């Protein structure tokens, strides 16, 4: 019986990167396609017979299958589901015409949609793209990166994994956007998303020798300590506090500084509130002491204050929605 092979390939891989089975079938049977592409060019270069159709594909496919016994339809980037449905219904009504076979010549590896994100942002920031995005700088976008990170944090705190997926997409947008803007920097300062990803990959391999270099894994504490030793060797920092993000919220900043100091066994006296020259610095000393108590108790002061504040906010909302009691007339006697 004649055979129609619906050949589906990934548009995110280099043209011509096909399975052995796919190459066998395109070399042995005529290939029909809806339009010219890099893949049609690659197939012709390898000796395949490729023809681009002008009219409706289903009649042409059935005619070619009847004449050649086997014909290949080269699906477009979206997979041509509507064509497959139309052809499937036709063959269900007339099963003697041909057999329909779905063949995957290539498929997306994990992370392939990241290439789409890079391509979309490149289009938006290229001439003729989005004027607003083209007008941005790393500095003008800094607040958006922080805001999107906080929204992802909120989704985590709420246990809403669907919202987290969306918010991480917004964080990813900022990452890819910053990388695309960096391609417009002067040549000696320029970098790209591949430099970002490459640096991340190299760092993860260096800092996880128990996974990539056959080192002994040990306990979680030993793995963490080894990570810190490798990190210090890479950064060559003069202080254990170097590298802390100073723009993070003050409670989180205080907790991180105390945690870093404790990690290497450094103890330093906390400022005494009563010795401070003004009420504001005295308050700061009280707050730092509270953070130190939280650290000693293995508590997260930022999370604790956030939870309590949000609970208080709900109390305020409840109070707003509760009507005040109706005053009663004073009781008189006559």
Complete DSSP assignment for 269-305? PPPPGGG-SSHHHHHHHHHHHHHHHHHHTT--HHHHH
Q: How far apart are CA 28 and CA 21, in angstroms?
A: 11
At what angle are helices 138-158 and 161-182 packed, to 10 degrees?
A: 160
- What are the pLDDT tens digits along the chain (334 aa)? 899 999 999 998 898 899 999 999 999 999 999 999 999 999 999 999 999 998 899 999 999 999 989 999 999 988 999 999 999 999 999 988 999 999 999 999 999 999 999 999 999 999 999 999 999 999 999 999 999 999 999 999 889 999 999 999 999 999 999 999 999 999 999 999 999 999 999 999 988 888 888 777 778 877 877 777 777 777 767 787 888 888 888 988 999 999 988 888 888 899 999 899 999 999 999 999 999 999 999 999 988 998 899 999 999 999 988 877 777 766 666 5
Q: Please tell me the predicted confidence (pLDDT) of residue 265.
A: 86
The whole-number pLDDT of residue 331 equals 65
Q: For position 243, what pLDDT does the model report?
A: 82
Rg (CA), the chain: 32
Report how far residue 56's alpha carbon sits from residue 74's, in angstroms, rounded to the nearest whole number: 14
Measure the CA–CA gap between 103 and 106, rounded to whole angstroms: 9
Q: What is the pLDDT of residue 325?
A: 75
Q: Give me the CATH topology for the region 3-104.
A: Cobalt-precorrin-4 Transmethylase; domain 1 (3.40.1010)
Going by the DSSP 8-state scheme, the letter that residue 239 receives in this structure is: S
Q: Which residues contact 274 (CB under 8 A, 6 or more apart)?
A: 282
Closest CA to 24 of 46, 9, 57, 1: 46
Q: Is there a contact between 58 and 32 (Cβ–Cβ < 8 Å)?
A: no
Token pair, residue 189, equals 């300062």
Nearest one of 145, 129, 102 to 248, comparing CA atoms: 145
Q: Where in the chain is the domain with CATH 1.10.287.1080?
A: 113-191
**Superfamily of domain 113-191 in the CATH hierarchy:** MazG-like (1.10.287.1080)
End-to-end CA distance of the chain: 110
Q: What is the pLDDT of residue 332?
A: 63
Tokens of 220: 């979680």
Report pLDDT for 229: 76
CA distance to 122, 135, 252, per residue, from 129 (Å): 9, 11, 39
Burial of 131 (0-12, 13-18, 19+ CB in 10 A): exposed
Q: Exposure string (b/e) for 45-70, b if CB count within 10 Å is 16 or more? A: eeebebeeeeeebbebbbebbeeeeb
Instruction: Report yes or no on whether pTM surpasses 0.75.
Output: no
H/E run at residue 71: strand 70-74
CA pair distance 61, 65, nearest whole angstrom: 6
Domain with CATH 3.40.1010 in the chain: 3-104
φ/ψ bin of 214: left (φ > 0), alpha (ψ from -120 to 50), beta (otherwise): left
**Contact assessment for residue 207 and residue 231, using Cβ atoms and an 8 Å cutoff:** yes
Nearest alpha-carbon partner for 56 in 87, 88, 95: 87
Residue 219: predicted pLDDT? 84
Tally of residues, the chain: 334
């Amino acid at each position: 019986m004649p055979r129609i092979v619906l050949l589906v390939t990934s548009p995110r891989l280099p043209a011509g990167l096909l399975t052995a089975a796919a190459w066998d079938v395109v070399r042995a049977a005529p290939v029909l396609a809806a339009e010219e592409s890099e893949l049609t060019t690659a197939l012709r270069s390898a000796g395949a017979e490729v023809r681009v159709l002008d009219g409706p594909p289903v009649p042409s496919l059935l005619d070619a299958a009847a004449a050649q016994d086997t014909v290949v339809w080269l699906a477009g980037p979206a997979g041509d589901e509507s064509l497959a449905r139309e052809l499937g219904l036709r063959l269900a009504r007339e099963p003697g015409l041909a057999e329909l076979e779905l063949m995957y010549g290539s498929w997306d590896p994990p992370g392939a949609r990241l290439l789409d994100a890079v391509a979309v942002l490149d289009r938006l920031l290229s001439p003729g793209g989005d004027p607003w995005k083209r007008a941005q700088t790393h500095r003008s976008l800094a607040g958006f990166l922080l805001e999107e990170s906080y929204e992802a944090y909120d989704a985590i705190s709420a246990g809403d994994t669907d919202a987290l997926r969306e918010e991480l997409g917004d964080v990813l947008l900022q990452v890819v956007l910053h990388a695309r803007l960096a391609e417009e920097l002067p040549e000696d300062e320029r970098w790209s998303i591949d430099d970002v990803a490459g640096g991340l990959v190299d760092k993860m391999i260096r800092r996880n020798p128990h996974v990539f270099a056959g080192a002994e894994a040990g306990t979680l504490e030993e793995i963490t300590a080894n990570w810190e030793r490798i990190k210090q060797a890479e950064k060559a920092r003069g202080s254990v506090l170097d590298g802390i993000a100073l723009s993070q919220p003050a409670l989180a900043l205080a907790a991180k500084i105390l945690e870093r100091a404790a990690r290497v066994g450094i103890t330093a006296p906390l400022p005494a509130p009563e010795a401070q020259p003004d009420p504001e610095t005295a308050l700061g000393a009280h707050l730092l002491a509270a953070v130190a108590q939280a650290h000693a108790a293995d508590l997260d002061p930022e999370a604790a204050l956030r939870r309590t504040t949000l609970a208080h906010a709900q109390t305020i909302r409840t109070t707003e929605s509760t009507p005040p009691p109706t005053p009663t007339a004073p009781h008189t006697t006559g």
